Structure formats: structure tokens, C-alpha cells
Amino acid sequence: MKKVQLPLTEETIKDLRAGDQVLLSGSVLTGRDAAHKRLVALVENNEPLPVDLRGQTIYYVGPAPARPGQAVGSAGPTSTYRMDIYTPPLLKLGLKGMIGKGRLGPNTLALMPEYGAVYFGAVGGSAVLISKSIKSFEVLAYPDLGPEAIHRFVIEDFPAVVAVDAFGGNLYDEGPKLYKQDEM
């Protein structure tokens, strides 16, 4: 299990390979469809973003309200394919990592080696466990979106797997090959 400090550095990204199990610690941004749509609209209009994406990782999540003594409530990953149409312009602005569940689309996959980005898979259905890794949060932008606002989470030992690395390695393609049986 590799310990990875966020925000990501180029040196760290170069050491990550598809299939690596990691524990992420540090600062991560959050956002889902509505926030991504707003960010891309700003990019398309050459307007400044409310957050600096350079070197950042975005966790695709809309956290539930916190119980007493917790930073957030349940905080499981959202399906990544929903952000695919918004991700390419964000990679061009320096986004280095994404955390979600499920496959990435072909446009995002094609750009990841070019921009040196990595995709971490989080386990769907483990939202309560994941929330224990979130130590604090603050709303950075779009508070009107409620749980889908852009937050900054401080995380510690957040469990994930490198699903797609910056070299084109893709666990969703390579993993099944390990278990494929020859036809008789």
C-alpha cells in the first residue's frame, strides 16, 4: 500500500501505476456535475475560476450532512462517466487527479498521458468508511449547490486504487485480462 500526499506532484504521479493500492492524505477538492458545468462555462467564456486547479485532485462526491463529531456524513464516490464531458478543459488548466468510481471516457483517457494526470478509483458502497478519512471541509464555491458545491476536504489515509495512470495504464482494461480463462 502506497501513501500518497496531496496535492499531487509530478514526481509522485510518475511513481503511480494502474493497480497500485494507495492511501491518500492532504487536500482534495470536491465537485459533481453541476459544479463542473459551471467551471467549464467559465473556461469557455475566458472568465476566472473560483478555485485554482493546478496540481489539484477532484473527488467526485456530494457528501451527506454530518452527524455530531464528524466532518461530513456519508461520502461515497459518484460515477465518473458523468464528469467526462467536463474533464478535458479542466485537465488543460492543470488538474492532476480525479477520484470516482467506474470507467473514464475515451476523450479523458486520451488526454491523461498528455497532461500527466491520474485517476483513483474509490469503492462504491463504502461511503461510511470513506467519510472517516475526511478530517475537515470548507465550502470554496457555489454554496447554492448544497452538497454538490465545491469543497476542500482535508483527508487522511483515504483508501483508493490507481485505476488509470499517467502512462495510459488502465486497470479497467488490464484487470480482467488477469482473470480471463482460455477457451477450451
DSSP-derived secondary structure for 103-139: PPPHHHHHHHHHHT-EEEE--TT-HHHHHTTEEEEEE
CATH 3.30.1490.100 for the 2-171 domain, yes or no:
no
pLDDT in tens, 44-100: 999 999 999 999 999 999 888 887 878 887 787 888 888 999 999 999 999 999 999
Sign of CA dihedral 168, 172, 178, 182: negative
pLDDT in tens, 132-148: 888 998 999 999 999 89
Q: What's 63's DSSP letter?
A: P
For residue 125, name the pLDDT band (cuts at 50, 70, 90): low
The pTM score is: 0.92
pLDDT the model gives residue 174: 83
Mean pLDDT calculated for residue range 152-172: 95
Name the β-bridge partners of 139: 151
> 45, 57, 47: which is closest to 151 by C-alpha?
57
Q: Is 17 a residue whose pLDDT tops 70?
A: yes
